[in-house]
Amino acid sequence: MNFKDMINEQGICILEESDKKQALLKLIECAVNQGAVHQEKTRELTERIFHREGLMSTGIGIGIAIPHVRYEGVKKPLIVMGIQPRGVPGYAAIDDQPVQLVVMIIMGKNQHREYIDLLSHVVRFLKSDEIKNKLLQAQNAKDAYNLIKGA
Amino acid sequence: MVEWFNSIVNSISVSHLNVLIILGLALFGGTIGGKLFQKIKVPQVVGYIAIGIIIGQNLLHLVPLSVVKKFEPFNYFALGLISFMIGGELKLSALKKYGKQFISILFFEALGAFFFVSILVFIIGMFLLHNLVVSLVMALLLGSMSAATAAAGTTDVLWEYKTRGPLTSMLLGVVALDDILALFLFAVFSSISTMFLGVRGGNVLNELGGLGYELGAAVIVGGGSGYVLARLLRTFLDENKTLTFSIGAILLVLGLSVALKIDMLLSSMIMGILITNIAPIRSKEVFKLLDRVATPIYVLFFVLVGTSLNLGGINVVIGVLIVVYLIGRTAGKMIGARLGGLLSKAVPTVSKYLPLCLFSQSGVAIGLAILAQQRFPENIGGTVIVIITATTFLVQLIGPPFIKQAVVKAGETGLNITQDDLIKTIKTGEVLSKKSPLIAENTSLKKILAIFSRNDELYYPVVDKKKHLQGIISIDSIKETLMAQELSDFLLAHDIMEPPVTTCTATTPLTEAEDIMDHYHVDYLPVIKEDNVTEGVVERRGIQRYVATRLLDVENKTRSLG
């Protein structure tokens, strides 16, 4: 299970939002549309995502954030990604820099090992400046998707 | 053909049938009576006798005395069997094992009862009966019987409270062996008594000579037969022959003793003593086999004893003697045990509490009373058996509570336990490590690693601000993160915890907690309060360690008792 295999074109969106809450909600909407959880469980997913953010920001620095959740309500493990080249201010990332790439990881309750692997894989993948910069220049989801697949 | 059949039918007379009905009644009724008495912790033998009293001459008159007389040879056999088996209890190795202290306490408590009962009964007897010989004989007989302490009513209390320690060992030893002292006292003093009563006639020298002959011949007959039996048992190993030879040997010894006019019970007891000591392993099997066939014989025997008892003879004198006997026996045993303990420098708990443990009385005293009844005139034998039966009933009711108090005060309860017994008494909350921390959801991986390195547990509960359980972090969940160094700055307890499978409370019995773990195939169980506040996690190895520590405590406590 890795980032490249799990992401798909529909799971990538170029974000217009420039505030943390709106950006996360947009990604949650995207995840629900992709079938991560049942439609009626949207609220629970939202609560979980924001609960985790409340514990500590998932902004890991250098413009990247990885909001993530793992619980029994998840129907299908999923990654969605939001790109905001101007950056989302107020994300409270470790280095206080605006977040440009938001990768949301949603996993099932018993996927502890895959979850950690995937988190680790995503971090390593995006920490490469070259890929990150190319992604930020992508005009649409298709470009971004091809970029990831080709990397 | 028809004539032959008719002659058979005619030969079965009504009186024969009655004997069979009596036997059946005695066995059924006796067994039921025994069970009923056992429920109130009175030895079954008292129940057998009670049934005999009910169906006998006192109440229902179902069994005429003439019929009871027909059973005399059977009664001898039953008594011979009882004596033989009692003899089998006297293992010289046991005497050696318990040592000096034990011998001292044993002799003081048994002889204490003997002297107190003898003296008190003699004085009161003289006062009430104005007959020197009858008072003296009754005093000596009751005194000898009072030395015995019953295992029944004693061991079941010890077992129930799982006791262990010096008091328990001493009590078990004393109870096992003071019967033998009672038997010897009885053998000697009943012989002397027949001399006083002039049953045999002749002068004192002749009497003493007769006594010497009786004891000597009993030793020769019993010992010789025991030796021959032991040799035979070495040759014939199968169970049927073992049993048949043993019963045959008992019957032969009894018959020889009758022919030689010596004490048949002393002879068969000596045979029992001999084979248990010269052929300890084979004789163990002999006693086991006899024990198996003995029950119906005992039941029948004691029921018949009950039928022959004449309760019409109970009067104020016997009532007073019952009280005197109880006082003398209790005081004698208490003072004797205390003195024996102090003189032999026994540990304080033994000197202090053993005196409270020796009230039980049963089989041996009753058996001896029955011998007395057969050997002595009704005014002595009948009185003795009524006194012993009544006092057995009474002490078996009051004895066990005293033993319980003694072992509790001596601190010996709950020490004779296995791991399984112990676990059954523990609640999950006791196992919880007080030091083991709860991990907050937002604790960083670095801090979690520090917690793991500082503490001994393999599982930690992850809680929210209200301390409600959110998940569990195990050494396994940590292991996954070791390969993901880049995450160490931002992974939190919340990210790596696993959802709890199930929970229990501090009051959940430990056995139940273990069952839950088995059911869910986990090695830990979170413990939460009723308001969902998390108390901690119990681990299987923590449980094992706790139980091992507790067992060690029990061992140490037992050792500290001396």
Q: Residue B189: what pLDDT?
A: 86
Q: What is the ipTM of this complex?
A: 0.86
Residue B42's pLDDT band, with cuts at 50, 70 and 90, is low
Q: What is the mean pLDDT of chain B?
A: 83
Which chain B residue has the Cα nearest residue A110?
B498
Q: Residue B509: what pLDDT?
A: 92
B17 pLDDT more than 60: no
Residue B1's pLDDT band, with cuts at 50, 70 and 90, is low
Q: Residue B137: what pLDDT?
A: 92
Q: What is the pLDDT of residues B397-437, one digit of tens each?
A: 778 788 888 988 988 888 777 788 888 888 998 888 777 78
How many angstroms away from the CA of B489 is the closest CA of chain A? 8
Q: Which helix (H) or strand (E) holds B65?
A: helix B65-70
Distance CA B90, CA B47 (A): 27
A16 pLDDT more than 90: no
Q: What is the mean pLDDT of residues B16-38?
A: 80
Q: What CATH code is assigned to A3-150?
A: 3.40.930.10
How many angstroms away from the CA of B500 is the closest CA of chain A? 11
Q: Residue B108: what pLDDT?
A: 93
Instruction: Provide, as residue numbers in chain A, all residues whose Cβ is less than 8 Å from the Cβ of B444.
Output: 56
Residue B314's pLDDT band, with cuts at 50, 70 and 90, is low
Q: Which helix (H) or strand (E) holds B526?
A: strand B524-528
Selected residue with higher pLDDT from B153 and B402: B402
Q: Residue B461: what pLDDT?
A: 93
Give strand pairing partners of B509.
B427
Q: What is the mean pLDDT of residues A68-77?
A: 84
How many angstroms away from the CA of A56 is the closest CA of chain B? 7
Which chain A residue has the Cα nearest residue B444?
A56
Distance CA B78, CA B250 (A): 10
Distance CA B286, CA B299 (A): 20
Q: What is the pLDDT of residues B511-551, one digit of tens each?
A: 999 999 999 999 999 999 888 899 999 998 888 888 888 88
Distance CA B144, CA B183 (A): 7
Cβ atoms within 10 Å of B341's Cβ, excluding its own: 25
B469-474/B459-463 β-pairing:
antiparallel
Q: What is the mean pLDDT of residues A89-100?
A: 86
Q: Residue B381: what pLDDT?
A: 85
Which two tokens mark B312?
Answer: 């019409």
Using alpha carbons only, what angle is made at residue A52 by residues A49 and A54, rounded to the nearest 5 degrees?
A: 110
- Tell me which range, A103-107, A127-131, B37-41, is most confidently predicted by mean pLDDT: A103-107
Selected residue with higher pLDDT from A15 and B107: B107
> Are A60 and B441 an interchain contact pair (Cβ–Cβ within 8 Å)?
no
Dihedral pair phi/psi, residue A36, rounded to 5°: -65, -45
Which two tokens mark B324?
Answer: 């005197």
Q: Helix or strand or coil: residue B427?
A: strand
Q: Residue B205: what pLDDT?
A: 66
Distance CA B535, CA B546 (A): 17
- Closest partner residue to A116 among B441, B481, B492, by Cβ? B481
Q: What is the pLDDT of residues B246-272, one digit of tens each?
A: 999 999 999 998 898 887 777 888 898
Distance CA B476, CA A113 (A): 10
Give the per-residue SS3 of chain A: CCHHHHCCHHHEEECCCCCHHHHHHHHHHHHHHCCCCCHHHHHHHHHHHHHHHHHCCCEEECCEECCEEEECCCCCCEEEEEEEEEEECCCCCCCCCCEEEEEEEEEECCCHHHHHHHHHHHHHHHHCHHHHHHHHHCCCHHHHHHHHHHC
A99-108/A12-14 β-pairing:
unpaired
Which two tokens mark B122?
Answer: 């003699």
Q: Which of B431, B475, B429 is nearest to B452 (CA)?
A: B475
Which chain B residue has the Cα nearest residue A107?
B495
- Closest partner residue to A72 among B484, B494, B499, by Cβ? B499
Cβ atoms within 10 Å of B90's Cβ, excluding its own: 21
- Closest partner residue to A109 among B480, B489, B499, by Cβ? B499
Integer CA distances (angstroms), B297 to B265, B291, B549, in order = 16, 10, 50
Q: Residue B10: what pLDDT?
A: 56
How many angstroms away from the CA of A126 is the closest CA of chain B? 12
- Closest partner residue to B441 among A55, A94, A119, by Cβ? A55
Which chain B residue has the Cα nearest residue A59?
B490
Q: Residue B14: what pLDDT?
A: 46
